[in-house]
A and B are shown apart, each in its own frame.
Chain A
Amino acid sequence: GQNIDQPTEMTATEGAIVQINCTYQTSGFNGLFWYQQHAGEAPTFLSYNVLDGLEEKGRFSSFLSRSKGYSYLLLKELQMKDSASYLCAVMDSNYQLIWGAGTKLIIKP
């Protein structure tokens, strides 16, 4: 079966750095997406990785290792507004998005 694993919940402090991990087992791979979802709202696109390595976009960076079936989302200089769920999704060989259940990130002052 296809599977995406992420921690259910993480807590971090305002101004700090946090890394949210995602491991996947899918039939084929056509890219990995990270989305941010605030409570009661729709997911918003953050990043896309299809090649190994780090993609940096402002305070957010996303890393991919295809051989390890592993990705992480790195958030720097955390702000209270970063409190949200972060969803990892992998596009499989049929171009279907396989979604993780999301990691709820709690930011404390």
Chain B
Amino acid sequence: DAMVIQNPRYQVTQFGKPVTLSCSQTLNHNVMYWYQQKSSQAPKLLFHYYDKDFNNEADTPDNFQSRRPNTSFCFLDIRSPGLGDAAMYLCATSASETDTQYFGPGTRLTVL
């Protein structure tokens, strides 16, 4: 089945220790998104790629970076995690920017 995969599902890191979350897709979609979602809140878009074109949201902290080495994979790097970065990180894909977004299972990040 075509799907969006995120690894790991649960990630624990220490305050200030860099961490990388990964997302892969077998849908062959052009667009990949990274969202941050905290408890009982709406998902917050951090950035997205249309193919190799990177689009950063204006209020995404510099602490968050992303890489998309090929169509299938996208990474979220948090350079110096703070306690406030503890959240669920959701990867989504869509065929184009106007199409339905399909989500992976998410990675729950804990910062100690």
A residues neighboring B (CB under 8 Å) = 4, 30-31, 33, 40-45, 48, 87, 91, 95-97, 99-102, 104
Contact = CB atoms under 8 A, between A and B. Distances in A.
B40 A44 contact: no
A43 B90 contact: yes
A48 B42 CA distance: 18
Interface of B: 40-43, 45, 88, 90, 97-98, 100-106, 108
B103 A43 contact: yes
A52 B100 CA distance: 18
Given A42-B106, A95-B97, A95-B98, A102 B45 contact: no
11 contacts: A4-B42, A33-B100, A40-B108, A41-B105, A42-B88, A43-B90, A43-B103, A44-B103, A95-B98, A97-B45, A100-B42
A42 B103 contact: yes
A99 B42 contact: yes
A101 B42 contact: yes
Contacts of A101: 40-42
Contacts of B45: 96-97
B98 A30 contact: yes
B100 A45 contact: yes
A42 B93 CA distance: 13
A96 to B, nearest CB: 7
Contacts of B97: 95
Contacts of A96: 45
A8 to B, nearest CB: 8
